[in-house]
Structure 1
Amino acid sequence: MARADYRTLVRDNYRRLSQSIQGFTPRREQNYLVAEIGKVLLGHYDSARRILVAEAGTGIGKSLAYLQAAIPWARLNQKKVIVSTATLALQEQLVNKDLPLFQPHCQPGFTFTLAKGRARYCCVRWLEALALGENQLGLFEAAAGLTPAQQQQLAGLWQAWCDQRWPGDRDSWPEPIDDSLWQQLQAERHSCQPLLGHRHCPFHLARAEIDKSDVVVVNHALLLADLAMGGGVLLPEPEQCLYILDEAHHIAAVAREQGSARLPLGLHRRALEQFNKQLGGVHELLGEEGQPRLARLQQALQQLIPALNQLYRQLSSALSRQELTPDEQGCLRFTAGELPGFLLEALVSLKEDNKLFARSLERVQAALGEQLKRQPAKAGAIEAALAALSQQQLRAEQTRDLCELMLRAGHPKQPPPARWLEQDRQELTLCATPLAVGHLLEQWCWSRAAAAILVSATLTALNDFGYFRRAVGLRANDGSRYLRLDSPFDYQSARLILPRLDCEPTDARFDQLLCEQIPAWLEGQTASLVLFSSYRQMQAVAEALRGRGQSLLVQGEASRQALLQLHKQRCDGNQPSVLFGTGSFAEGLDLPGHYLTNLIITKLPFAVPTSPVEEAMAEWVSLCGGNPFMQLAMPEASRKLIQACGRLLRTETDHGRIVLLDKRLVSRRYGAALLDALPPFSRELP
């Protein structure tokens, strides 16, 4: 591809776009981001590794920037643009605003679509079986009894599908679909059989749209799920994709979730016992030549079920003897990833038995596939059997993943997975999560993608990319390009206030301090947001303030959308409005102009390492001679504090104040570093 051709296209597209927008004002930072993305895509910095990590502050217009730079390059190089986001709000902005705005002015032209996970679509086979009360051979797992309201909704869904009034996805149904009903209808990877054809499958019809589209908008979970399966399953192969990862600071956490595994021992054992009883229905479908395969499957079950039983008994016995001691939440983390000897032996045995079970399942499925070709008259019964076998295949994969994580050998440069046991009434669940996912992202994406652009308003921590780079598996000198663009907003128009306070958040008097300070800082204000780091603390303060007559909109008491709508109505009516929220309100909340002029942050967002994953990560850093607070807690708190402060200024004309009720910013040595990493607000310090 000639460089001049691409650059000319970008310039011409920009000219047409700017002329179409009334009152268009050029943004220097946005244009610079377009230019830097273009240089990376053209191989200006490294032709073998086209990766850009860009922190672009609020107000730059990064989504329109990366669309302008990426789409022409991808079209000229026959690549797909995959735009991945963390939030539904940004997906909706891209699909409903940014892409339609750019599309008429872009050459070469492009098409776009929104891709959703398989679970957002119904399986027509499940829908029909449930609607018509059919359960061929009794092989489907027992469905929970439906209430009259669910039965009525089910009938409506089935009729709408038959009348071609509904495409089969959850989001296009005009009213909410009951969760427990949808769980029985949603498509699953292992229920989809290539042998059955996909002409009428909602998911595969949507998948065909992805194949035809030039730009695909997805969420991080869907992208990482596809990459974890090797790529090219739900989305195109990584080598054919230019990935744009917006809100990229979430990528490591989502990758960790994708790599996690859980095995509820009791539930899994009971499901296999039920499946074993139902296998007789497959006997007559297989034909004579398939009987040896069925016998091997039944034999594999006779080994696997006792192995699960034995492991459950061993763990129960160790708990009763207090050899293993869970915490108050019923969670027992295996310190430093060290497993007791009996558990190691049991997991090795379980892994081998599960392998045999998985192979036997595949052979029976293959035999049923052959019978489907020979006996089309029995298609319904064979399809039901294939779907039931596929459900067990999913269980086998879950067991395999859990065993592999639990048994993974240590590596001197990588932390072991977090491994723990959860006890809930009569259920015991083994859990494991990889702590280091950077090597997985390198293997899945960075080393394979045609190009990758990672953008966010908050990628640095304490003014450095190092924390993010280590989390996602990029190295300092691997050819990746780093860019930091400040927001064009006038931060001096906003005041950052640290009042004189009597105690720190660790003090028992802090709740009472908040009950005194918050009303004082709400007085005379029309649009306020108060952010808490603890749900318990938020509720306690809300109860106390309401007791004094304060009107509050509190997170959790209504949907987020309903709270924001009511807040805006009050602001539009010149009535004082106060929103109380926790961490999720500190990110992605967009209240421009008069909807937010008074932001109160009650406490620095230090995470307390209480989850097994956080505890294991802090433990690893300590074992390596590091400081978990400085290496983990501080960078994460810095990033979260910047995000929280970012709620105030959302447009160039916004103004207001931020009140920080945590004296550690001035009383502790680390406070100066956290303050220096914040935008250059006008400061009022004690």
Structure 2
Amino acid sequence: MLPHPALHASHGGIWIADGDGCRAVGRGEAIRIAADTPVILLGASIAGQRLGYAELSGLDLLELFAFVYPARFAVPTPKGLAAALGLTPPASDDAVAPFLREAAAAMLATLDGDWPEREGAWTAAQTLFRLRWPWAPQVTACLSKPQGGERWLFSRLPEWEEGAPRPAPRTVTLADDAVADRLARLTGTAAETREGQRRFAATAAQAFAPRRMRDTPNLVLAEAGTGIGKTLGYLAPASLWTEAADGAVWVSTFTKALQRQLGHETARLYPDPAERRARVVTRKGRENYLCLLNLEDALQGGFQGRAAILAQLVARWAAYSADGDMVGGDLPGWLPTLFRRNGSTALTDRRGECIYAGCPHYRKCFIERAARASANANIVIANHALVMVNAARGRETATRPTRYVFDEGHHLFEAADSMFAAALTGAEAIEIRRWVTGPEGTARGRRRGLAARLSDVASYDEEGGRAITQAVEAARALPSDGWLARLQEGAPFGPVEALLGAVRGLVYARAAKDDDAGYALETELAEPDAALVDAAGPAGAALDALVRPLVALGRRLEAVLAEAPDWMDGPARARIEGAIASLGWRAETVGAWLALIARIGGPADPDFVDWLAVDRAEGREWDVGLHRHWLDPSRPFAETVLKQAHGAVITSATLRAGGDWDVADARSGAVHLEGSAIHFAAQSPFDYASRAEVLIVTDVKRGDLPGLANAYARLILAAEGGTLGLFTAIRRLRGVHARIADRLAREGLPLAAQHVDPIDTGTLVDIFRDDPRASLLGTDALRDGVDVPGRSLRLVVMEGVPWPKPSVLHAARRMAGGGSAYDDRIVRARLAQAFGRLIRRADDSGAFVLLSAAMPSRLLSAFPDGTPIRRITLDEAIERVRALPSVAPIRQKAGA
């Protein structure tokens, strides 16, 4: 057994286990022991939060698990770790600390032999020993040096190969009986025939018919209620079309959870794992993938302290990862959170600084591998943002898809809103400055400016070199380090900082006063004051001086490609092509800023909504700037994506947002196409009348935080856990959690919370799903992105009617969209999505509780037809929840 004690801290108490047994201790004693002696922990950040000791550190079992089993996942709870290790889970809180010692011993024993992830472990352990990783002495004592050495990360990763361009898809027509047969094969012969799913598949197949008109795709808008089986419904015609036409279908989602779910569903199409890897590829934005050059920099001294340990563990993972996806892939979501903010984001390409073929790891790059794999795949699982980025400014023009399926289609409007917006803010401007100039002053790191990235071009092409010099000089007029502090002190430096200072002053003068500094302040860009008008001219001139050389440089690079000098080999050509794409993106961004500045003192553009904002969080300002959004973002979405496609299916359970098809047409972009969309609707097959009910609690006062917390606590206790609590404000979520966590823990009911627990949202959902007595509190991300079928979710509680937050943008769209009717559509869609978390399969049951007496009757149509709806008191609601059929088995098991 290990000589180290184990520490377990929960809301229910604190325990220490060592060679003499296990004992309960107070917070002070636990902190003293942890400070004096290395202790075994399960999630130091969570344990430290429970102890109120943020600097808690020790022998974290999750770090050891990440070392021993890279690219494997374990739910970061005692039960989850036991399942991953094949151990018996602890039966109670006081049994957890001894179990932690047992789990540590089991993992260390694994190191004494051969296991699938052994290669690279010895080399990594030696480095971790030098970095003083707490586990390093135990790990190195157990590991023996491999005979003949071992391959490490960069020698182990495979290289991708360039293939011949894929021909354009053939023109084919899908037969109705073939679609039906494919659906039957996917669902299985033993599955119950679902008429709604069959009709859905037949309708979705029309999107794969030959296109009839230029710039007008075959567009299917399908509202399919929960339980219809829409995933297999659209995969049936999509898979048939890919095989017959030899083309790719891009299935686009909004949440990473659905991307993972789709990956699992495609196993029905391609049961053989090797074939599935070739035929199905998951794609995300560049910022999700590990950058091997950034990792190499971190491993060679770019990271220090705890961040350097994280880099070593990520390197262990990268050697075994299926795709290098750090966000929602096979990297455990809890791993970066163990190191707080020490480096995980610096391991991805979040600034668009990729040097493409100039990178020594280009042939092994995870991003490039995914791009090439998707070119020859049948099904590409992407997300709305990536689809729009690729369509608007992507490099993969030769392999752009002609057929799309947009699942979670009700989110297309907001995804387009984000994609096609412009924001001239300090944070955005300083990033472009850094991209152009590279490190300045004493700054260190791998970041390189234009001159360094294109030095060979500058030496070959005099005009291109001159454009680089001019761009670097012009970029120095953008905000630099310390810009926000200078604005707050009233001492901006340079024309763009002066403009932002004028923006900040006008916002504070005109914005509605708000005592809570955690919220952003904003005001319309209308009737600007003299200070803002005077600052606009010099700022516009400075930005114009930047955009001109960027455009000129892009043209010179295109000319260099056409000239094809002797020094330009394949990698150099790819690097220059990448630079052209990056320059086009930045020039487009600065051009949008110029259009926004021209609006100051000028006429308003009816297509756009412009405003000024000071962004604040956690009691401090973090950004200042001007913002421009399309009044109707579905218009640029239709232009850049839909009109270029031959067919598309847009589907969701709430596509019409509680309205008619005019709403779906407007929010999907169908109104901007010449032809008419095909409409399909099918209600959920679930028996909501007997499996669910809506309880509107009438006696919890609005604004009464203690009363709200009491209601949540009593409802969770009545349901024996299994509760998803949804909030419209982070501040209230935190206030409720602080009041009820200890109370629930004393009853053996764990409570996790988004924006409270130092762990990513996906892992919080995994923890919730894994324990039927656990509950989870969260905000919008949980309202739309949680799929927890079965006993783990039997009660959904919303704090109130989810009205849209008042803002300049919302006010403009509200006016254009019908006033209060626009608000009602948003609320209905949010209520429907929240209610949809409750019943995920036919045998689910539970209750949906809304803690608001002010719920208008006109919004009740958000819930499925036949669902019982009752307006009752909190006491009555608690009795009904306690009597739920899904609660009784949990109570009986707990009693046993």
Q: 8 Å contact 1:417–1:432 — kept in the other structure?
A: yes
Name the residue aligned to 1:142. Answer: none
Matched, 1:594 2:786: no
Structure 1 residue runs without a partner (length 5+)? 134-144, 666-670
Q: Which amino acid aligns with 1:399?
A: V
Give the Cα–Cα distance (whole angstroms) in 2 for the partners of residues 282 and 113 of structure 1.
31
Give the Cα–Cα distance (whole angstroms) in 1 for the partners of residues 250 and 503 of structure 2.
49
* 1:611-626 matches, cutoff 5 A: 614-619=807-812, 621-622=814-815
Give the Cα–Cα distance (whole angstroms) in 2 for the partners of residues 488 and 431 of structure 1.
44
Give the Cα–Cα distance (whole angstroms) in 2 for the partners of residues 130 and 441 of structure 1.
39
* 1:534-545 matches, cutoff 5 A: 534-545=729-740
**Paired residue secondary structure (2:785):** coil
Matched, 1:454 2:650: yes
Give, in angstroms, the shift of residue 61 of structure 1.
0.6
Name the residue aligned to 2:26. Answer: none
Give the Cα–Cα distance (whole angstroms) in 2 for the partners of residues 81 and 539 of structure 1.
42
Q: 1:54 to 1:421 in 2, by over 3 A?
A: same
Match of 2:268 among 82, 101, 106: 101
Give, in angstroms, the shift of residue 658 of structure 1.
2.4
Match of 1:246 among 394, 398, 407: 407
Give, in angstroms, the shift of residue 84 of structure 1.
0.6
Q: 8 Å contact 1:555–1:582 — kept in the other structure?
A: no
**Paired residue secondary structure (2:399):** coil
Name the residue aligned to 1:121. Answer: 289
Q: Which amino acid aligns with 1:444?
A: T
Name the residue aligned to 1:606. Answer: 803
Give, in angstroms, the shift of residue 211 of structure 1.
1.1
* 1:605-684 matches, cutoff 5 A: 605-609=802-806, 614-619=807-812, 621-622=814-815, 628-631=819-822, 633-665=823-855, 671-679=856-864, 680-684=866-870
* 1:453-602 matches, cutoff 5 A: 453-475=649-671, 478-498=675-695, 501-502=698-699, 505=702, 508=703, 510-522=704-716, 524-526=718-720, 527-546=722-741, 551-556=749-754, 557-558=756-757, 559=759, 560=761, 563-564=764-765, 566-567=767-768, 570-571=771-772, 576-602=773-799
Post-superposition CA distance 1:482-524 (Å, at most 9, x none): 222100000111353545624653xx4x334434544554454
**Paired residue secondary structure (1:475):** helix
Post-superposition CA distance 1:275-330 (Å, at most 9, x none): 68888879985687644543454345445534771232354367569995566569
Q: 1:364 to 1:651 in 2, by over 3 A?
A: same
Give the Cα–Cα distance (whole angstroms) in 2 for the partners of residues 256 and 566 of structure 1.
32
Give the Cα–Cα distance (whole angstroms) in 2 for the partners of residues 528 and 221 of structure 1.
31
Q: 1:337 to 1:489 in 2, by over 3 A?
A: farther
Match of 1:341 among 512, 521, 533: 533
Name the residue aligned to 2:476. Answer: 305
Give the Cα–Cα distance (whole angstroms) in 1 for the partners of residues 850 and 314 of structure 2.
50
Give the Cα–Cα distance (whole angstroms) in 1 for the partners of residues 300 and 768 of structure 2.
46
Query: TM-score w.r.t. structure 2 length?
Result: 0.62
Give, in angstroms, the shift of residue 349 of structure 1.
1.9
Q: 8 Å contact 2:610–2:627 — kept in the other structure?
A: no
Give the Cα–Cα distance (whole angstroms) in 2 for the partners of residues 112 and 369 of structure 1.
34
**Paired residue secondary structure (2:252):** strand
Which shifted more, 395-404 or 248-257? 395-404
Post-superposition CA distance 1:456-502 (Å, at most 9, x none): 11112234233343233222984101222100000111353545624
Give the Cα–Cα distance (whole angstroms) in 1 for the partners of residues 263 and 510 of structure 2.
50
Which shifted more, 408-417 or 398-407? 408-417
Q: Which amino acid aligns with 1:636?
A: I
Q: 8 Å contact 1:553–1:563 — kept in the other structure?
A: no
Q: 1:124 to 1:63 in 2, by over 3 A?
A: same
Name the residue aligned to 1:139. Answer: none
Give, in angstroms, the shift of residue 113 of structure 1.
1.5
Name the residue aligned to 1:355. Answer: 547
Matched, 1:436 2:637: no
Q: 8 Å contact 1:325–1:332 — kept in the other structure?
A: no
Name the residue aligned to 2:3. Answer: none
Matched, 1:191 2:384: no
Q: Which amino acid aligns with 1:147?
A: Q
Give the Cα–Cα distance (whole angstroms) in 2 for the partners of residues 498 and 55 of structure 1.
26
Q: 1:206 to 1:531 in 2, by over 3 A?
A: closer
Post-superposition CA distance 1:599-641 (Å, at most 9, x none): 33331111222xxxx422314544x6x764332x211111111
Matched, 1:148 2:305: yes
Q: Which amino acid aligns with 2:179?
A: V
Which shifted more, 27-36 or 43-52? 43-52
Give, in angstroms, the shift of residue 449 of structure 1.
0.8
Give the Cα–Cα distance (whole angstroms) in 1 for the partners of residues 764 and 860 of structure 2.
31
Q: 1:95 to 1:564 in 2, by over 3 A?
A: closer
**Paired residue secondary structure (2:644):** coil
Q: 1:513 to 1:475 in 2, by over 3 A?
A: same
Matched, 1:10 2:173: no
Matched, 1:52 2:243: no
Matched, 1:400 2:569: no
Give, in angstroms, the shift of residue 37 of structure 1.
1.6
Match of 1:32 among 199, 207, 220: 199
What's the RMSD between the two structures over aligned residues?
4.5
**Paired residue secondary structure (1:416):** strand
Give, in angstroms, the shift of residue 399 of structure 1.
2.6
Query: TM-score w.r.t. structure 1 length?
Result: 0.79
Asked which structure has the greater RCO (Cα within 8 Å, sep 6+), the reply is: 1
Give the Cα–Cα distance (whole angstroms) in 2 for the partners of residues 454 and 685 of structure 1.
35
Which shifted more, 49-58 or 427-436? 427-436
Give the Cα–Cα distance (whole angstroms) in 2 for the partners of residues 283 and 456 of structure 1.
46
Identity of aligned residues (%): 21
Structure 2 residue runs without a partner (length 5+)? 1-169, 442-448, 480-493, 873-896
Q: Which amino acid aligns with 1:684?
A: R
Q: 8 Å contact 2:708–2:799 — kept in the other structure?
A: yes
Give the Cα–Cα distance (whole angstroms) in 2 for the partners of residues 519 and 681 of structure 1.
25
Post-superposition CA distance 1:201-225 (Å, at most 9, x none): 3322221111111111111221121
Matched, 1:260 2:400: no
Give the Cα–Cα distance (whole angstroms) in 1 for the partners of residues 692 and 453 of structure 2.
72
Q: Which amino acid aligns with 2:684?
A: S
Aligned pair count?
645
Q: Which amino acid aligns with 1:261?
A: A
Give the Cα–Cα distance (whole angstroms) in 2 for the partners of residues 2 and 322 of structure 1.
56
* 1:26-425 matches, cutoff 5 A: 26-42=193-209, 49-96=217-264, 98-103=265-270, 111-128=279-296, 131-132=299-300, 146-154=303-311, 169-170=325-326, 171=329, 176=335, 181-187=343-349, 189=352, 191-193=354-356, 199-229=363-393, 233=396, 236-237=399-400, 240-265=401-426, 267=430, 271=434, 290-291=461-462, 293-303=464-474, 305-306=476-477, 309-316=494-501, 328=517, 333-336=522-525, 340-362=532-554, 374=566, 396-407=587-598, 414-420=607-613
Q: 8 Å contact 1:361–1:393 — kept in the other structure?
A: no
Which shifted more, 596-605 or 517-526? 517-526
Q: Which amino acid aligns with 2:657?
A: A
Give the Cα–Cα distance (whole angstroms) in 1 for the partners of residues 415 and 403 of structure 2.
19
Q: Which amino acid aligns with 1:491?
A: Y
Which structure shows the bigger proportion of residues in helix conformation? Answer: 1
**Paired residue secondary structure (1:462):** coil
Q: 8 Å contact 2:725–2:797 — kept in the other structure?
A: yes
Q: 1:621 to 1:313 in 2, by over 3 A?
A: same
Q: 1:356 to 1:565 in 2, by over 3 A?
A: closer
Name the residue aligned to 2:59. Answer: none
